[in-house]
Amino acid sequence: MQATAEPQVLILEPSKGFFRLKLGDLWEYRELLYFLVWRDVKVRYKQTVLGAAWAVLQPVMTMVVFSIFFGRFAKMPSDGIPYPVFAFAALLPWQLFAYALSESSNSLVSNQNLITKVYFPRLVIPISAVLAGLVDFAIAFGVLLILMCYYGIVPTAAIALLPLFVLLAVATALAVGLWLSSLNVKYRDVRYTIPFLTQIWMFATPVAYPSSLVPEPWRAFLGLNPMAGVVEGFRWALLGNAQSPGPLLAVSVGAVLVLLVGGLIYFRRTESTFADIV
């Protein structure tokens, strides 16, 4: 007599303890994470005329505008690096951060039909929104390599650390996105503040200008803006001529860790209410 397989039972229990994050659940639902990332990438380029070219046009056009107004007219210093390369090297991690922040902040509301129908770790949704931005980054990175070849810039051995700065940009976007996505579920006007926040944040980050313009005693405090460390580290790792970020980067890493851990705790503490109020 053939034995019948017993049905699997999943028991859902509330989290106990303030710091119980259940990050192991992400590994169990890794296939769902992959599917959501792939879905976001396909939706982004579906039924578009230029397709993946949009990943190049936005940073390139911004670089052209910065080069004209900041580089030529304002004579902004660029640490001895041709200004187009100086600006584009900063715009790449910034565009990755800005896209990931916008998408992750609105991800829970955008996926409300999925949240209300089936159980899965809600943390998968903002993470997938952040990771989808890496495709645009990889495409635009090829343009930066072409610019570096055109201006005869050869990267140093520090380029081996470049993935760490990309990871730091992703972690920053996820950290802030966790806070904003959770708040956006309860307070829908949060989404209206995101474009304004991104715009102000960009001018507070040394994208169009070098951090060397900030007086030395205050430069470490600039690192409280995590993207300052990302941008300066990105330039240092790729272009080699910029000064090592040093203390600025250390402060940025500390700020990201505080934001990320706090965001994870707050997200986990509030995710049980998402399906009820989204």
Q: For residue 16, how many C-alpha atoms fall within 13 Å in the half-sphere facing its CB?
A: 2
Average pLDDT per 10 consecutive residues for the chain, totaling 278 residues: 57 52 81 93 76 84 96 92 95 96 94 88 94 94 95 90 96 97 92 93 94 85 94 91 78 96 93 84
- Quick one: pLDDT at residue 236? 93
Please give the pLDDT value at position 171. 97
Distance CA 259, CA 141 (A): 27
Distance CA 92, CA 105 (A): 20
Closest listed residue to residue 165, CA positions, set 219, 98, 237, 91: 237
- pLDDT, residue 272, reads 85
State pTM to two decimals.
Answer: 0.89
Give the model's pLDDT for residue 278.
73
CA atoms of 202 and 94, how far apart (whole Å): 8
What is the structure's pLDDT at 85? 96
Q: What is the pLDDT of residue 12?
A: 52
Q: Please check whether residue 90 is in contact with residue 231, taking contact to mean a CB–CB distance below 8 angstroms.
A: yes
pLDDT at position 16 is 53
